[in-house]
Amino acid sequence: SDLQEREERGELLQPLVFVALALGSVLLYLKVSLMDPGFVESEEEEKADKSEEQTMVIPQAPSTIQMRRCGYCMVKQPMRAKHCQLCQHCVRRYDHHCPWLENCVGERNHPLFIVYLSVQLVVLLWGGHVAWSGLYFEQSWDWLQHNIFLILSFLLIVIVTVAVLLLLISQLYLISCNTTMWEFMSHHRISYLRQSELENPFDQGVVLNLWRFFC
């Protein structure tokens, strides 16, 4: 049959891979948006379950810096944590609150957020290629009426692709420097960075920064 011939030629593999990637991006979106980004627990819970960041010594950081108590939720903030007024929680290794996810990006979901952006970018580029391949330009009003939806879809894909690409590039750059978006944007207002002799006391080289983040 025609379906079997297409399968033998491998023509069905591409749409199946595209559907799998699109479904994967949706599942990743749900996972990242619904999971705990690294909320700071109460002092009683912290004693029972200390995170690696609390126990890890950072030799470049000033020893005079003390953990401060959050003025909103009254928990002791570990270094690199910040209170998110939208989530009403302090988040460990706070990067930013993502309105796209309606959740914070922090210590626990940051690596998965990068994976989600990467998969989403592949889907968008693939979808943009498909939309572009379906456009055959003609200088006529009738052609425009029949292709207006495809043109608008392609333009929307281009806009979202540029936004995702810029976000992914900026995130990878910050990760390679072992800094967060919050620390990068508010360096002058953060006590442990303002009092440090180094501009970034957490930077241990690109390779080690990437290894510790993803592995």
Catalytic residues: 98
Q: What phi and psi values does residue 117 have, to the nearest 5 degrees?
A: -60, -40
Q: Which residues, other chains included, contact 9 with Cβ-Cβ below 8 Å and sequence gap of 6+?
A: none
CA distances from 132 to 50, 53, 123, 151 (A): 51, 47, 14, 8
Q: Which residues, other chains included, contact 115 with Cβ-Cβ below 8 Å and sequence gap of 6+?
A: 28
Phi-psi bin for 134: left (phi > 0), alpha (psi -120 to 50), beta? alpha
Which residues does residue 97 pair with via DSSP β-bridges, in sequence order? 104
Contact 37, 105 (CB under 8 A): yes
Token duo for residue 123: 């889907």
CA distances from 212 to 62, 74, 161, 176, 202 (A): 22, 30, 28, 10, 11
What count of residues does the chain have? 215
H or E, element range at 174: helix 141-176
